[in-house]
């Protein structure tokens, strides 16, 4: 009899430990990456690193501005493409379509969500890059290789579409049917109801979901790396190449042990990425939680 | 004025259909580009043999090393992942009260960990590996993929475990069971969720490139021990595609087909399980 109670207590202890481990992991990652970046922060000020754009590890110049701006541009453009598409899609699925339509669309979204990032990269080089270099480039009168900010953003937007659609469906589905019926009964069309009632009610959730999807997109590595050109410049136009932070880490980890401070610089890059994603993700989740409990 | 709202309705209906066509178009475009490029060049030899001499300048050989490496890493990570995540899910839903503060903090932590990019996991694991003196190896790959999938496993199982009716557990308690002894009941209730969560994370681990890039390395051989380097399919696609020779690039497309087919099978069986086995739930 005693034995069973002891077993229960021991199991409880082990499980508490595993659960605590997750919290510790999160802290350990922040601390570990921070400690690794300490070397470079000793020699260069944080402000200097974040605002300088000269990146010459051989000459001890580490400016992250090109990479930071590359990350934000490619994510920003991707969001601009994905947001209206996914919102319209979610509205169509929740407000307009019949369940038979949904049965055929959900598997499509599932496929899109499950494909690995490298596959999107291959697709980008096969389809998007040629379109940009052969059609869009000549159309605006710029010669381009096709490996551009725009290509990276298009590929990235397709990758975050399924996440956005499923988050939006959940948000819109939570808006009470009564509200819609009241609006329809007053003679509003379906779109008017959607615009003035459903979207208005769901707006906070839509914003939070978008932030969540952005935090996903910020860390996307291989697919973007394969199509965005990887030139260390601050992009001026959609047809310039860019070089996001994840690509920087992935491309250079091989030689990072060969130069002084190089490893520290890359770990600082990982820390920046971790920090931005953490803030976006945590903010969005806490906000979504307060909306849900209201 | 009365007309305007009907016109607006029409316009937005049109835009919705457009977005639908766009998304469906993306899916078919991705699949079509991979399959039309890869299937014609895919041969049996590629799937069943290791890279031969001169492989990276377009000579004979295949990418069996990458297939086997990926399978090893995914199997190891899934095993470790389940070993960690099932107790955590059980703890969150049985040991803790529904409104437990610790529970909600832990859930939030897993949500946040789920959002951490795999390249960051890779970089973090790499620094740890340098500190403790492990080189890029099968073990490193397994560990980093475990870190990557544990939050996925926990989140998707926990979502189902939370809906287990309290009465069910109370029935077990009233028969004299301790909390740990209800694990059989709980596991039976969340069995479909365990299956779908496992498939989901197998898919994620199989397709992840950024994490294993640092930690598993790449090799032409099949790893024979945990300390050997291991090749993976996504990296095999990536490296071969960046080669200048057409023959090598073609093999990248063939490897992409293999990877896509594996992922599609995994995700389709996930759907199947979700639809047919969730009926047995109380």
Closest CB from A32, A116, A219 relative to B259: A116
Task: Give the whole-number percent of chain B exceeding pLDDT 90.
Answer: 41
| pLDDT score at B281 | 47
Q: How many CB pairs under 8 A join A and B?
A: 241
pLDDT average, residue stretch B136-140: 90
The answer to whether residues B164 and B31 belong to one domain is no
Kindly state the average pLDDT of the residues B60-73.
Answer: 89
User: Is residue A168 very low, low, confident or very high in pLDDT (cuts 50, 70, 90)?
Assistant: very high
Query: Looking at the complex, does the CB of residue B266 fall below 8 Å from at least one CB of chain A?
Result: yes
Structural domain that includes position B73: 47-280
Q: What is the mean pLDDT of residues A115-132?
A: 94
Into how many domains does chain B fold?
Answer: 2
| pLDDT tier for residue B258 given thresholds of 50, 70 and 90 | very high
The answer to ipTM > 0.85 is: yes
The answer to whether B30 contacts A212, with C-beta atoms less than 8 Å apart, is no
Alpha helices in chain A (DSSP H): 2-43, 46-51, 65-91, 99-114, 117-123, 129-131, 137-140, 149-173, 177-185, 190-193, 199-218, 222-227, 245-252, 262-293
**Residue B263, pLDDT score:** 94
Q: What is the model's pLDDT at position A101? A: 84
- Pair (B13, B112) in one structural domain: no
Same domain as B70, residue B6: no
Q: What is the DSSP string of chain B?
A: -HHHHHHHHHHHHHHHHHHHHHHHHHHHHHHHHHHHHHGGG--HHHHHS-B-TTGGGT-SB--HHHHHHHHHHHHHHHHHHHHHHHHHHHIIIIIS-TT-HHHHHHHHHHHHHHHS-HHHHHHHHHHHHHHHTPPSSHHHHHHHHHHHHHHHHHHHHHHHHTTS-HHHHHHHHHTT--TGGGHHHHHHHHHHHHHHHHHHHHHHHHH--HHHHHHT---SS---STTS----HHHHHHHHHTSS-HHHHHHHHHHHHHHHHHHHHHHHHHHHHHHHHGGG--
Hey, is the C-beta of A107 within 8 angstroms of any chain B C-beta? yes
pLDDT at position B280 over 70: no
Query: CATH for A49-293?
Result: 1.10.3720.10
Q: Which residue has the tokens 């969730």?
A: B278
| CA–CA dist B194, A217 (Å, integer) | 27
B202 and B95 housed in the same domain = yes
Confidence band, pLDDT 50/70/90 cuts, at residue B1: low
Cβ contact (<8 Å) for B117 and A4? no
Q: Which residue of A has its CA nearest to B151?
A: A22
Mean pLDDT of chain A: 89
Q: Say which residues have a Cβ less than 8 Å from residue A222's Cβ, sequence separation at least 6.
A: A117, A118, A121, A250, B209, B210, B234, B238
Per residue in B3-24, pLDDT tens? 888 888 899 999 999 999 999 9
pLDDT at B282: 43
A119·B27 Cβ contact <8 A: no
At residue B132 the predicted structure's pLDDT band, cuts being 50, 70 and 90, is confident
Same-domain pairing of B178 and B163: yes
Task: Please report residues of B whose CB lies closer than 8 A to that of A199.
Answer: none
Residue B56's CATH number: 1.10.3720.10
Closest residue in B to A224 (Cα–Cα): B210
Interval B144-171: pLDDT, tens: 999 999 999 998 899 888 888 888 888 8
Chain A residues whose CB is inside 8 A of the B237 CB are 118-119, 122
In this prediction, residue A211 has a pLDDT band, given cuts at 50, 70 and 90, of very high
The answer to whether the CB of A148 falls within 8 A of the CB of A228 is: yes
pLDDT digits (tens, 9 = 90+) for B202-229: 999 999 988 888 888 888 888 888 888 8
Length of chain B: 282
pLDDT of residue A224: 92
Q: Are A264 and A39 in contact (CB under 8 A)?
A: yes
Do B150 and B207 share a domain, yes or no? yes
Yes or no, beta carbons of A221 and B113 under 8 Å apart: no
**Quick one: B171 and B245 in the same domain?**
yes
pLDDT at A124: 95
CB contact A266 to B (< 8 Å): yes
Same domain, B35 and B54: no
Q: In terms of domains, do B14 and B91 share one?
A: no
Question: How confident is residue A89, by pLDDT bands cut at 50, 70 and 90?
Answer: very high
Percent share of chain A, pLDDT over 90: 44
pLDDT at A154: 95
Chain A residue numbers with beta carbons less than 8 Å from the beta carbon of B108 are 282, 285-286, 289
Q: Which residue of A has its CA nearest to B211?
A: A250
Of A5, A107, A119, the CB nearest to B178: A5
Residues B160 and B221 in one domain: yes
Contact B259 A119 (CB under 8 A): yes
Q: Mind listing the pLDDT tens digit for each residue in B78-105?
A: 999 999 999 999 888 888 887 888 888 8
Q: What is the mean pLDDT of residues A139-157?
A: 90
Contact A285 B111 (CB under 8 A): yes
Record: contact B178-A8, CB cut-off 8 A: yes
DSSP for A5-35?
A: HHHHHHHHHHHHHHHHHHHHHHHHHHHHHHH
- pTM of the full structure: 0.91
* Domain ranges (residues) in chain A: 49-293
Same domain, B126 and B179: yes
Half-sphere exposure of A136 (CA within 13 A, CB side): 20
Average pLDDT of span A39-58 = 83
Same structural domain, B59 and B7: no
pLDDT at B2 over 70: no
């Amino acid at each position: 009899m005693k034995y069973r109670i002891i077993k229960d207590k021991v199991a409880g202890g082990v499980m508490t430990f595993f659960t605590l481990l997750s919290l510790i992991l999160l802290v350990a990652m922040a601390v570990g990456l921070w400690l690794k970046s300490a070397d470079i922060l000793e020699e260069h000020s944080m402000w200097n690193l974040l605002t300088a754009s000269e990146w010459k590890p051989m000459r001890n110049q580490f400016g992250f501005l090109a990479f930071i701006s590359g990350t934000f541009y490619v994510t920003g453009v991707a969001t601009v493409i994905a947001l209206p598409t996914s919102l319209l899609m979610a509205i169509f699925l929740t407000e307009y379509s019949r369940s038979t339509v949904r049965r055929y669309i959900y598997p499509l979204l599932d496929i899109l969500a499950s494909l690995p990032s490298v596959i999107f990269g291959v697709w980008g080089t096969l389809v998007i890059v040629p379109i940009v270099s052969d059609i869009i480039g000549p159309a605006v009168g710029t010669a381009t290789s096709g490996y551009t900010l725009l290509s990276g953003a298009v590929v990235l937007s397709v990758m975050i579409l399924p996440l956005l659609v499923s988050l939006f469906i959940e948000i819109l589905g939570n808006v009470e049917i009564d509200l819609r019926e009241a609006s329809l009964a007053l003679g509003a069309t379906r779109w008017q109801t959607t615009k003035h009632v459903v979207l208005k009610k769901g707006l906070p959730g839509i914003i939070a979901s978008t932030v969540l999807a952005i935090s996903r997109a910020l860390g996307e590595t291989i697919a973007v790396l394969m199509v965005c050109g990887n030139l260390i410049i601050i992009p001026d136009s959609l047809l310039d190449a860019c070089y996001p932070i994840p690509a920087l880490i992935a491309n250079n980890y091989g030689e990072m042990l060969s130069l002084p401070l190089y490893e520290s610089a890359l770990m600082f890059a990982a820390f920046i990425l971790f920090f931005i994603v953490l803030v976006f993700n945590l903010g969005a989740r806490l906000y979504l939680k307060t909306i849900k409990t209201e | 004025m009365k007309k305007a709202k009907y016109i607006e309705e029409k316009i937005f209906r049109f835009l919705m259909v457009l977005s639908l066509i766009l998304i469906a178009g993306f899916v078919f475009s991705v699949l079509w580009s991979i399959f039309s490029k890869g299937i014609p060049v895919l041969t049996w030899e590629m799937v069943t043999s290791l890279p031969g001499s001169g492989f990276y300048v377009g000579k004979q050989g295949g990418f069996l090393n990458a297939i086997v490496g990926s399978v090893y890493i995914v199997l190891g990570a899934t095993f470790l992942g389940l070993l960690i995540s099932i107790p955590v899910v059980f703890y969150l839903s049985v040991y803790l009260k529904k409104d437990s503060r610790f529970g909600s903090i832990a859930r939030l932590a897993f949500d946040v960990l789920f959002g951490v990019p795999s390249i960051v996991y890779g970089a973090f694991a790499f620094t740890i590996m340098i500190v403790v003196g492990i080189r890029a190896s099968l073990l490193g790959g397994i560990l980093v993929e475990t870190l990557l999938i544990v939050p996925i496993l926990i989140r998707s199982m926990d979502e189902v475990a939370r809906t287990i009716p309290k009465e069910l557990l109370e029935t077990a308690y009233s028969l004299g069971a301790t909390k740990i002894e209800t694990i059989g009941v709980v596991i039976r209730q969340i069995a479909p969720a365990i299956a779908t969560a496992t498939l989901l994370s197998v898919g994620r681990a199989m397709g992840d490139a950024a994490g294993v890039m640092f930690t598993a390395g790449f090799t032409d051989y099949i790893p024979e021990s945990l300390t050997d380097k291991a090749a993976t399919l996504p990296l095999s696609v990536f490296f071969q595609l960046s080669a200048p020779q057409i023959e090598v690039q073609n093999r990248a497309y063939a490897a992409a087909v293999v990877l896509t087919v594996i992922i599609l099978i995994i995700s389709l069986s996930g759907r199947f399980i979700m639809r047919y086995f969730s009926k047995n739930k109380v």
